[in-house]
Structure formats: structure tokens, C-alpha cells
């Protein structure tokens, strides 16, 4: 049986797929790749089926990650039934997820697992900016991914 994690942003073409790729590697580095499924989705569906934003893909590639297989999907209420941990990239998406979450389901911010991050820290949306915004997103998700991987390891051991 696998533990399942879903990372959620707005359109599922920048932040959450970058975090998905980074978290997968962090879990693989801990020897958990065969025990944990990592997925991502967006609260909006306008990019469904699209590949990752080219700028996000380029930043990942420049840092040794491969995001080429990603296709955007939309998070729907039934996804809560098949995921053990749902993490939002920002407060708006956190609120959207909490509105549709069944009673008793906890949804958290992705950066809440980064001990250096302040309370309610978000992964900012780089979509309307340049390369530096995507570099910032990668640095933030790399910092938080280690904490998420540790949490997941503790949950499944």
C-alpha cells in the first residue's frame, strides 16, 4: 500500500508540478520512491492536459530535474479520498481546498514543513514574471520538500 501526496496550486503548470518533481526526488533520496506516490493538480481546470510551463521546465532542467512528463490536472473533491496528504502552495488555494474538503480532513500549506519559513508562508506564483521568479519557487520548494519528506517518512514508518 502506498502513501499518497498531492500538491496543489492554481493551474498546475508552475508551482505544484515543480514541487512534485522536487518532492519525488527528496523521497527517492530517502529510499521511499516505491512507497510514496506524489501527484499535483490545480484548483482551476483551464490548463488541463497542458505540459508544465516552459519556464518552470527549463529551471528544473537547469538544476538536474526532469519535469517533461507532467500534464496539468484539476483537483476535485473526490481526490481527498485517495490522498493521505494534500498541500497547497498558497493561502488562496488553501482556502479553496478547505471549502471542498470533507469534515476532518487536514489541508496544509506546503511551506509549513520548512522550519525556516514564517507562519503562513506561501510559494509565490511566478507565472507573470521572469526567470528569477521561477528560480525563487525552486529554492522555496527545495527547502520545504525536505520537511515534507521527513514528515512522510515518519507517517509511514
pLDDT in tens, 61-96: 999 999 999 999 999 999 999 999 999 999 999 999
Is 71 a catalytic site residue? no
In words, the CATH class of domain 3-156 is alpha beta
Could you tell me the residue ranges of all domains in the chain? 3-156
Grid coordinates representing 87?
A: 498541500
Q: What does the alpha-carbon distance between residue 45 and residue 27 come to, in Å, rounded to a whole number? A: 28
The backbone region for 53, taken as left when phi is positive above 0, alpha when psi lies in -120 to 50, beta otherwise, is: beta
What confidence score (pLDDT) does residue 157 get? 87
Considering 53, 90, 114, 125, which one is annotated as catalytic? 125
Q: What is the pLDDT of residues 96-125, one digit of tens each?
A: 999 999 998 989 999 999 999 999 999 999
What pTM value is reported for the model? Answer: 0.97
Q: Is position 4 annotated as part of the catalytic site? A: no
Given the residues 6, 14, 15, 24, select the one marked as catalytic. Answer: 15
To the query of whether residue 14 is one of the catalytic residues in this protein, the response is no
How much is the pLDDT for 79?
Answer: 97
Quote the strand ranges of the chain, DSSP E: 3-9, 36-42, 85-88, 107-109
Element (H, E) at 79: none
Average pLDDT value over all residues in the chain: 97
With beta carbons less than 8 A apart as the criterion, state whether 32 and 112 touch.
no
Amino acid at each position: 500500500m502506498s502513501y499518497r501526496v498531492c500538491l496543489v496550486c492554481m493551474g498546475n503548470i508552475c508551482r505544484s508540478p515543480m514541487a512534485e518533481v522536487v518532492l519525488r526526488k527528496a523521497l527517492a533520496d530517502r529510499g521511499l520512491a516505491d512507497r510514496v506516490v506524489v501527484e499535483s493538480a490545480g484548483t482551476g481546470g483551464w490548463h488541463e492536459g497542458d505540459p508544465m510551463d516552459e519556464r518552470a521546465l527549463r529551471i528544473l532542467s537547469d538544476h538536474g530535474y526532469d519535469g517533461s512528463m507532467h500534464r496539468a490536472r484539476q483537483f476535485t473533491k473526490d481526490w481527498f479520498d485517495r490522498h493521505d496528504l494534500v498541500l497547497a502552495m498558497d493561502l488562496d488555494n488553501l482556502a479553496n481546498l478547505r471549502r471542498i474538503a470533507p469534515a476532518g480532513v487536514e489541508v496544509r500549506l506546503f511551506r509549513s514543513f520548512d522550519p525556516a519559513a514564517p507562519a503562513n508562508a506561501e510559494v509565490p506564483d511566478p507565472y507573470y514574471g521572469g526567470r528569477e521568479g521561477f528560480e525563487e519557487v525552486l529554492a522555496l520548494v527545495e527547502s520545504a520538500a525536505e520537511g515534507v519528506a521527513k514528515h512522510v517518512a515518519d507517517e509511514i514508518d
